[in-house]
Amino acid sequence: MFCHPELVSGSFQDHFISKKPLYLHLAPNSTPTMPKRFYHNYWVYILASKPRGILYIGFTGGIDDRMERHMRNEGSKFTAKYNVKQLVYFEEFQYVWDAIA
């Protein structure tokens, strides 16, 4: 179920083992907010224009959405200008600082 189960602990892990729903408890008359995410995914990726061509190194919180935007030339002006769209490398990280280090 998890890529790195050793990194998941506490009530979040208990929720998935027991299949109990997570409830957002609110004070009376308070505005509901999104629950805090317990597990984050960050991606470092490399795109290429062609073999021995131009490389683009990117960082994102959602690789699938980001690649779709690159394919529509909405990902960045650089990749649109130089037609850099071929994904040649990607790596997933849980912590943002590990991804950008």
Does residue 60 form part of some domain? yes
Residue 77 is encoded by which pair of tokens? Answer: 């002006």
Task: Place 38 in a pLDDT band, splitting at 50, 70 and 90.
Answer: low
What percentage of the chain exceeds 90 in pLDDT?
47
pLDDT tens across 41-65, in order?
Answer: 899 999 999 988 999 999 999 999 9
This prediction's pTM: 0.61
Helices (H), strands (E): how many in the chain? 4, 3
Does residue 14 form part of some domain? no
Does residue 92 form part of some domain? yes
Does residue 57 form part of some domain? yes
3-state class (DSSP) for residue 68: helix
